[in-house]
Amino acid sequence: MKIIVCIKQVPDTNEVKIDQDKGTLIREGVPSIINPEDKNGIEAAVSLKEKFGGEVIVISMGPPQAKVALKEALAMGADEAILLSDRTFAGSDTWATAYTISQAIKEIGDYDLIFCGRQAIDGDTAQVGPQIAENLNLNQLTYVSKVELLDEKVKARRELEQGYSELETKLPVLITVLESINKPRYASIKGIVDAHTTQKIKIWTADDFEVDMDKLGLDASPTQVHETFVPKHEKRGEILEGSYEDIVDNLIKKLRSENVV
């Protein structure tokens, strides 16, 4: 069985602070990590491999320093790692990212399962997984918190806003996983040593797999960033006066008019 896991290296956005006076982000000391839900994808893939045999290939798109994330994935038990890295990929939106990764996955070929994290913490779009599935003409299962393999079939639990559904589909399939699906293992010492001493990370540029140059990077991306700004949190500090009844009444009116509840 061949399992592919798509991962992204992201800044740990939980560690980002805002300089309220300047209205800028404080980046110092913000580490780069494997996107948390992608780690769950690696864990899901590696544990399936341990049970059924086969191989796990991790793939990522990003700048050269994203190799660090791939090394960690290898140390967790992945067999092979591919980094798609080329200046022509820069500025890709989800559409162009999904195109590029899909083309690389076609090059790998013969896969049974593709895992992605549900979404990345620096963008929160949850789009690249389903877009890859579409490009590869695969079924997709998103928001998955449980997955079982039965012969050629996959049985999965997909979380809904209230409750869940149990779904069954055939391989091959792309699955986007939630943090609740498993607890990612720590890299073993042997795994870390192996990941650092062997050259298992391949770097693929736009010359290494079949791509249409007109579909890459910023120029091909349908969406563009028009502007970015730091949201203001100006606090009104309004102390509500009157009887408790008046206060509660007043508060609810305010929240409703501001569309908070």
Residues 100-139 binding other proteins (CB under 8 A) are 121-131, 133-135, 139
Interface with other proteins, residue 24, by CB under 8 A? yes
Least distance (Å) from other proteins to the CB of residue 107?
Answer: 19
d(CA 203, CA 211): 15
Tell me how far apart the alpha carbons of residues 36 and 17 are, in angstroms, rounded to a whole number.
19
Segment near other proteins (CB under 8 A); pick from 40-48, 70-78, 199-207, 248-256 = 248-256
Backbone angles phi, psi at 235, to 5 degrees: -95, 135
User: The tokens of 243 are what?
Assistant: 């009887």
Residue that is written with structure tokens 């579409």 in the block = 134
Q: Which is nearer to other proteins, 59 or 97 (CB)?
A: 97
Burial class (CB in 10 A: 0-12, 13-18, 19+), 129: buried
The residue range among 47-55, 69-77, 106-114, 216-224 that interacts with other proteins, by the rule CB under 8 A, is 216-224
Stretch that binds other proteins, among 19-27, 103-111, 182-190, 199-207 (CB under 8 A): 19-27
Q: Could you give the CA distance from residue 252 to residue 236 in angstroms, rounded to a whole number? A: 16
Closer residue to other proteins (CB): 19 or 55: 19
Dump the DSSP string for 115-130.
Answer: EEES--TTT----HHH
Q: Two tokens at 97?
A: 């990212």
Closest distance to other proteins from the beta carbon of 202 (Å): 18
Residue 162-201 contact track with other proteins, rule CB under 8 A, x = bound: xxxxxxxxx---------x---------------------
Site string for other proteins, 76-105 (x = CB under 8 A): -----------x--xx-xxx--x-------
- The reply on whether position 31 binds other proteins by CB under 8 A is no
- The end-to-end CA distance of the chain, in Å, is 49
Nearer of residues 76 and 83 to other proteins, judged by Cβ:
83
